[in-house]
Each structure stands twice: as structure tokens, then as C-alpha cells.
Amino acid sequence: MTGSKTDPRVLRTRKLIMDSFIELSSEKEFKDITVKDITAEAMINRATFYYHFEDIYDLLDKALSEVLLINLDCNHYQNIELNEEMLVNIFKAVTNFQMSLSNRCHRGYEDTIARIIREQLEIIFYKVLLKQGLTGDMQALKITAVMLSWGLYGASVEWRRNSVGVKPEEFIKPAIPYIISRIDVGSTNETKE
Amino acid sequence: MTGSKTDPRVLRTRKLIMDSFIELSSEKEFKDITVKDITAEAMINRATFYYHFEDIYDLLDKALSEVLLINLDCNHYQNIELNEEMLVNIFKAVTNFQMSLSNRCHRGYEDTIARIIREQLEIIFYKVLLKQGLTGDMQALKITAVMLSWGLYGASVEWRRNSVGVKPEEFIKPAIPYIISRIDVGSTNETKE
DNA sequence: TTAAATGTGTTGTATAAACGACAAATCCAA
DNA sequence: TTGGATTTGTCGTTTATACAACACATTTAA
């Protein structure tokens, strides 16, 4: 997929930084983590950090994206259709991811995290919609992906607020038929009778 | 102790190489390990290997030295005198080290390993003898260290051949008084009555 | 035996990382 | 508020690593 091989030094250093950041995140909250802390933990030079990331927020962004992508097992969804099972799995991944974050006390950065999650969801949904060869134009697919990402994220917020006792899959399942039927219309005509 | 700080990149790379070599050593025997294998495992460039080591035998040498030094806990012996306890501990470290090696099937390289062990022992003995401020000239101390290293190593060979059932400390203890008394004569006059 | 394949050790060049220094920003206690 | 201390982001220079290419040695298979 990524045609040009990246320098192994870059991969090594990025991993060192990411791992150190995640390690530090489990020790103290984000606002108390400095770039110096990270580079000390990673045993790299501070200047090298700025070679790879704009600042610590850029690192936060990319680190969270990566963790979320692992949770979502993105490649796994490349080949399947947008059905109930997939939506349930993604919802489980999102709630699971958020629970793991709340243990790490990223207080005051919920907005950033929310944006990152939605962006990642949007990317995934857009890919899947494209794969399904829907007839609508690309702009329509994009907007659909946006709405799905916001919708799913919103559901996770609602779940966290009221229903953490309920299993995520049981929480989301009742709503899915309404979503799915809308999507399926206009594509394969496999609307559930 | 080592005044000049070494570049962290060097430390990282050396560790990568060493660890990869030890990892590979537990998978197959030395004669089947190539430089390419090591650099592939370590995810470094092959040319970088030759920046740090002359060849694979040089790596073997240094890797074994390091493992042995860890076993011997060299710094620990910097401050104490050459007494029975120290000799017993060193002998235990040597036998222990050799047993761990035999599990890794370095067949055909016993000579190299033997030489490395003796060299390390010699270094340690020489340091300790110097610390004790013996009156003899340095050349005499050097030769004493050589003889002690060969002697202790020879004892470990003897132990491996006949007495692996016997505990190393019990095996070596009876001989130590003869060694110690000779060393102590001419230094502090603390010969055991 | 030869020929192909694989491994070794070296070299030249490009680039990532280390390092020290710096001004500016931010924090924090007096 | 002030002033010292810490952090941030950047820069120029030096050094370590990546990479491709090379001749040569060793192994392997035909």
C-alpha cells in the first residue's frame, strides 16, 4: 500500500516516542507530561522529537489515532459490507477504547479525543461505502460517512452517560436496523423485508 | 568511571545487535548464524554491524564477555579483598555461566569461550590484587592474575568433567586455603595461623 | 568439475539523530 | 508584580546509520 519504504531509523524513533508517551500516560495525566519527559523516557534527543512531531498535541493526535486504529482492526473491515455485525463491532471498539482512555485521565482533552475518534470512524465508513459501490456521488458518500461517524460517536457518549452497565452490543443493536435500512436503499436493493 | 559519554545511538544499536545475537543463539547454533541473520533480526543495516564489530567472532567475544561480566557482577568485587568468599563466588559464577552456555550449543567454540573467560578472570584478579596494594612489582601481579585465572578455569573444567553432581562451592572450597595463603604472604602478613 | 547462489567485508553518499546553544514563552514563588 | 526557573521550539554542526554497489569467498546443486 505505502509504496515508498520509510527509513528504518524513522520507524524506530517514532515507536520509541509513541511507546514512551503511552507509558508516561499511564503514570500521570496529559497536562503534566512534557516533551522533555517523553524524550528522556525514550532516550532520544529533544530536537529529534520536533523532527517527527509539530508539538505534543500532534503526538497526542497521532498516538491516539494509532491506538484507535489497532482497536478497530481497520484492515479487517476493508473487505466486508456495512452490516449489523460490523457496526456492532466498531461500536464495541469505540466504547472499549474510551474506557481504556478514561483510566488514563486525559482530563481537559475530551474534545481533541472526540475529534480524533470521529475522524477515524469517518475514514473507515467512507472506505467501506466506496467498496460497496453505492450509486450515489462521492460527495453524498462523504456526507453519509460524516453522519455515521458522528452518530456512532454520539451513541457512545450517550452510553457512557447512562448505560455503562449495559453491554455495548446490547445497547447499540436495537438502533442498527434503522440505520442499515437507510444505507442499503439505493445500493444492492437487499433491503430487509 | 567511563568519563566520555558514548553516543546514545551507539548504545541502542549495540544493544539491538547483542540482543538479536543472544536471541538467535537460543534458536540455532553459532555456526549457522550469519551476520545477515543478526542484522535482519535487529532491523539494522548490515554495514552498521561492521561499524561496531570486526566480524561475527568479535561479536561472540564481546557478547560472551558482557554476559560473563554480568554474572560476575564485576563492580561488586572492586572494593573487597581476595578472600575465600570472593573466590567461591567467582567460581560459582563461572560454572553457572558455563552451564547456561552448554544449553545453547556453541559446539566447536569451546576454545574461544575458554579464552574469553580466562581473560575476564585475569582482569578481575589483577584489579583486586592492585587494590590490595601488594608489595610485589606489577609484572609479578600480572603473572599471579594469569595463574589464578587459569587455575580457576581449570578447576571449572575438572568440575564439569567429574563432579557436576557436587555443588560448585563444595567442590572448590577445600583447595582455596592453599591458594589464599600463598597470595597473602608478602602483603599484609595476615596469614591464617 | 562448473555455475549459481549466498554470505562477507568494504566503500561512497545521503540522511536521520545527537548535541549545544539560543530566544521566546510559560510557570511559580517571593 | 517581579525575577528566577523551567519549558518550548528552532538552528547549525557533527556523527551514526541506511543504502546500494562492489569484489571476493564460501557453499550448494547440477
Block means of pLDDT (10 residues each) for chain B, 193 residues, are 77 96 83 93 97 92 78 63 82 78 56 75 82 74 88 89 87 85 50 38
A69 and A163 fall within a common domain = yes
Is the CB of residue A176 less than 8 Å from the CB of residue A84? yes
B17 and B85 fall within a common domain = no
Grid coordinates belonging to B95 = 560454572
A182 or B172, higher pLDDT: B172
pLDDT score of A183? 58
Q: State how far the Cα of B114 lies from the Cα of B157, in Å rounded to an integer.
A: 10
B48 and B22 fall within a common domain = yes
Between the ranges A49-58, A177-186, B53-62, B89-98, where is the mean pLDDT highest? A49-58
**Structural domain includes residue A3:** no
Is the CB of residue B132 less than 8 Å from the CB of residue B184? no
- Please report, rounded to whole angstroms, the spatial distance between the CA atom of protein residue A32 and the C1' atom of nucleotide C28: 15
A36 and A81 fall within a common domain = no
Interface of B with A (CB under 8 A): 8, 12, 43-45
B41 and B102 fall within a common domain = no
Rg (CA), chain A: 19
A79 and A43 fall within a common domain = no
Query: From the alpha carbon of A37, which nucleotide's C1' atom is closest?
Result: D7
- Please report, rounded to whole angstroms, the spatial distance between the CA atom of protein residue B47 and the C1' atom of nucleotide D22: 13
A34 touches strand C (CB under 7 A): no
For residues A134-146, one letter each, b for 16 or more C-beta atoms within 10 angstroms of the residue's C-beta and e for the rest, the string is: beeeeeebbebbb
Distance of CA B145 to the CA centre of its chain: 14
- Please report, rounded to whole angstroms, the spatial distance between the CA atom of protein residue A103 and the C1' atom of nucleotide C28: 29
**Structural domain includes residue A98:** yes
Q: What is the largest CA-CA distance in chain A?
A: 62
**Structural domain includes residue A173:** yes
pLDDT score of A50? 97
Domain that holds residue A184: 63-192
Band of residue A74 on the pLDDT scale cut at 50, 70, 90? low
Which residues in window 9-68 of B are less than 7 A from strand C by Cβ? 9, 34-36, 46-47, 50, 54-56
pLDDT score of A141? 84
Question: pTM here?
Answer: 0.72
With CA atoms as reference, the chain B residue closest to A12 would be B43
Q: State how far the Cα of B7 lies from the Cα of B16, in Å rounded to an integer.
A: 15
CA-closest candidate to residue B147, choices B126, B127, B168, B171: B126
Is the CB of residue A49 less than 8 Å from the CB of residue A38? yes
**Structural domain includes residue B139:** yes
**Structural domain includes residue B21:** yes
Band of residue A163 on the pLDDT scale cut at 50, 70, 90? confident
**Structural domain includes residue B181:** yes
B132 and B162 fall within a common domain = yes
CA distance B28 to chain A (A): 26
**Chain A residues with beta carbon closer than 8 angstroms to that of B12:** 43
B192 or A41, higher pLDDT: A41
**CA-angle at A30, arms to A27 and A32, nearest 5°:** 80
Contact B45 A12 (CB under 8 A): no
A132 and A180 fall within a common domain = yes
Neighbours of A165 (CB within 10 A): 6
**Structural domain includes residue B3:** no
Does residue A60 surpass a pLDDT of 60?
Answer: yes
Question: In the predicted model, what is the mean pLDDT of residues A155-172?
Answer: 88
Q: How many domains does chain B have?
A: 2
Q: At what angle do helices A110-131 and A56-72 cross, to 10 degrees?
A: 40
The CATH number covering residue B40 comes to 1.10.10.60
Grid coordinates belonging to A137 = 456521488
A135 and A67 fall within a common domain = yes
pLDDT score of B187? 47
B32 and B119 fall within a common domain = no
